[in-house]
């Protein structure tokens, strides 16, 4: 986003929008984690951009489009999590940046089971 004022320009980078979207997504009930995939995970580890794992954005002058890849918690209806996620991310990005979010696409790449999370956390004593 670029906004010309009498004092100068204001630009919001793609990374800032991706970070806002990622944090809003993780705060959404039913989202267990963000999914980055193997190639994206390696690229982000090398570039130090783990805050935007599972988030892709396209930012224009006044609009943004956001793609999210998530893992949902087992037992919660996926369509409800998806709709809530779209609303939360849209609201957070629009409120913080002033950009109009034209789309929030959600791809569910996995399901997290509570027993697996607990078992892995206590695997080694």
Q: What are 29-72's pLDDT values in tens digits?
A: 999 999 876 544 444 444 444 557 899 999 998 999 999 999 99
pLDDT for res 10: 79
Residues composing the chain: 125
Is position 10 within any domain? no
Question: How big is the CA angle at 30 (ends 12 and 119), to the nearest 5 degrees?
Answer: 115
Which CATH number covers residue 106? 3.30.70.1350
Q: Which domain holds residue 71?
A: 20-35+50-112
Tokens of 117: 């999370």
Gap between the Cα atoms of 89 and 107, Å rounded: 14
pLDDT for res 63: 94
Tokens of 35: 């999914």
Is-contact 21 93, C-beta < 8 A?
Answer: yes
Between 51 and 19, residue with greater pLDDT: 19
Structural domain total, the chain: 1
Is position 45 within any domain? no
Per-residue pLDDT, averaged over 2-31, amounts to: 86
Is position 55 within any domain? yes
Is position 108 within any domain? yes
Is-contact 17 57, C-beta < 8 A?
Answer: yes
pTM listed for this prediction = 0.76
Is position 103 within any domain? yes
């Amino acid at each position: 986003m670029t906004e010309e004022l009498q004092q100068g320009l204001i630009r919001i980078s793609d990374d800032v929008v991706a970070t806002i979207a990622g944090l809003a997504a993780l705060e959404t009930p039913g989202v267990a984690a963000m999914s980055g995939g193997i190639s994206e995970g390696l690229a982000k580890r090398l570039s130090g951009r783990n805050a935007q794992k599972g988030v892709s954005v396209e930012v224009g002058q006044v609009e943004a489009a956001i793609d999210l890849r998530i893992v949902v918690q087992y037992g919660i209806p996926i369509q409800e999590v998806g709709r809530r996620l779209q609303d939360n991310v849209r609201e957070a990005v629009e409120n913080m940046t002033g950009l109009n979010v034209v789309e929030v696409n959600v791809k569910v790449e996995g399901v997290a089971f509570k027993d697996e999370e607990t078992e892995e956390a206590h695997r080694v004593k």
